[in-house]
Amino acid sequence: MIGPEIERLIQLLSKLPGLGPRSARRAALHLMKRRDSLLVPLSESMALAAEAIRNCSVCGNLDSRDPCSVCSDHSRDRSTICVVEDAGDLWALERTRAFHGTYHVLGGTLSALQGVGPDDLNIPSLVERAKDPAVTEVILALNATVDGQTTAHVVTDRLSGSGVSVSRLAHGVPVGGELDYLDDGTLTAALKARRPL
């Protein structure tokens, strides 16, 4: 005999990745016990995000500014565009502090199964951006999955003739990884791409 308000809250929470029905109940209870310190702030933060956060009209990144804070930062190197699947990948790359160019967020990967074709992704706007003579390199930072690699091929194809050089992230042994636990594909790729010391 759970009230309809709590029932609905649990049902919505269970749609979050990583939360099932049981952990959604625990989360709802946790929120209810921390009404002022968590439930109210989280509700307000979500309402604010829903209202303020939009996709950047240049690169597709999620931000409350448009163009986003990366695109409007004049210290970024505009000659290089790093193509990622979604904003989470952009965040991951930003955390490394190893990349100082701009991004382009495709908004997904091609998927025959899920019916995602080239026109469902932000590929045309990338081709448009690549026409700018200031842009010299496009780095494809897509997942090393079948869908990610298919997308990389299609993007490369669309960019041919635009004069930019297209590269992709290196495949190899993860830093800190043990060879014994690596899959054959990664090991083969690492061997082929060996570097002189």
Which part of the chain contacts its own copies (CB under 8 A), choosing from 57-65, 121-129, 148-156, 179-187? Answer: 57-65
User: In the set 58, 62, 154, 187, which binds its own copies (CB under 8 A)?
Assistant: 62
User: In the set 57, 66, 77, 94, which binds its own copies (CB under 8 A)?
Assistant: 94
Q: Closest approach of Cβ 174 to its own copies, in Å? A: 16
Which are the contacts of 44, defined by CB distance < 8 A and separation ≥ 6? Answer: none
Give Cα 39 distance to the centre of its chain: 28
2 is a contact residue toward its own copies (CB under 8 A): yes
9 is a contact residue toward its own copies (CB under 8 A): yes
26 is a contact residue toward its own copies (CB under 8 A): yes
Q: Contact, 71 vs 143, CB < 8 A?
A: no
Q: Which of 41, 117 has the CB closer to its own copies?
A: 41
Which are the contacts of 175, defined by CB distance < 8 A and separation ≥ 6? Answer: none
158 is a contact residue toward its own copies (CB under 8 A): no
Which are the contacts of 129, defined by CB distance < 8 A and separation ≥ 6? Answer: 58, 81, 104, 135
Q: What is the DSSP letter of 151?
A: H
137 is a contact residue toward its own copies (CB under 8 A): no
In angstroms, what CA-CA distances link 37 with 2, 31, 45, 184? 23, 9, 12, 49
Q: Which residues bind its own copies (CB under 8 A)?
A: 1-6, 8-9, 12-13, 15-19, 23, 25-33, 35, 38-50, 52-53, 62-65, 68-70, 73, 86-88, 91, 94
